[in-house]
Amino acid sequence: MLLVIDAGNTNITLGVFKEEVLIANFRITTRIARTSDEFGIMIHDLLKSKGMDLSQIEAVAIASVVPGIMHSLKSAIIKYLNITPFEIGTGTKTGIKIVTPNPKEIGPDRIVDAVAAYDLYGGPLIVIDFGTATTYDLISEDGSFLAGITSPGIRICADALWHQTARLPEIEIRKPDSILAKETITSMQAGLVYGYIGQTEYIVKKIIEESGIEEIKVIATGGLGKIIADGTDAIQIFDDGLTLQGIRLIYNKNKMY
């Protein structure tokens, strides 16, 4: 079995694949400093909770945008699984052609999403990842990474709202039934969610307008993205497992070399 790890700025998501099937997935917070032993014990316990053990893992693949955790995380995998992990980075064969001026600036999180979306749904497409930052990436019909847009994620916007104001409370991020809010909590929810739906629709519209690509699929993943995807016709497909699938696909492409 293959263990894939997506180390993001807010969460670390782990998935276990048996061939092409995701049979288990877990999520832990990134923002706690951990030693290699803590990572190792945590991975052991998570697998055990699903009736698996470390000996069943044959390979490990990682995509990370958090360099500060990588020494401990990779050391844990080597120490507890006796496996040298495959890390997606510069020079990794992906099958996606990056035609931006500086390809090294494109993070591995965006690459794995693009690879999975293109492989599963075909191009041309826009891939939206609602993570700590929200990213919008344009992939052509032949699998070229043409452009990317980055904006503050919905949780960053929410944190700013309640931490930079004296009297607004921390709230659950969800879509209220109406934008016509009549009290503080639903007014904040309306501003956050409907405002983010509006951002999503406008950016998708501008990408289509400026690229000249009209017949285009829009695929979304990540975090609170289901709330946004359910509130707009601009997104055709929400795929929560897109990033983990992308890591698996890239690992398999590189096994052949």
**Catalytic residue numbers?**
109
At 51, the amino acid letter reads G
E-strand stretches of 74-205: 86-87, 97-98, 125-130, 133-139, 144-152
- CB neighbours of residue 80 within 10 Å: 18
Cβ atoms of residues 109 and 243 within 8 Å: yes
The SS3 assignment for 2 reads strand
CA gap 238, 226 in Å, rounded: 7
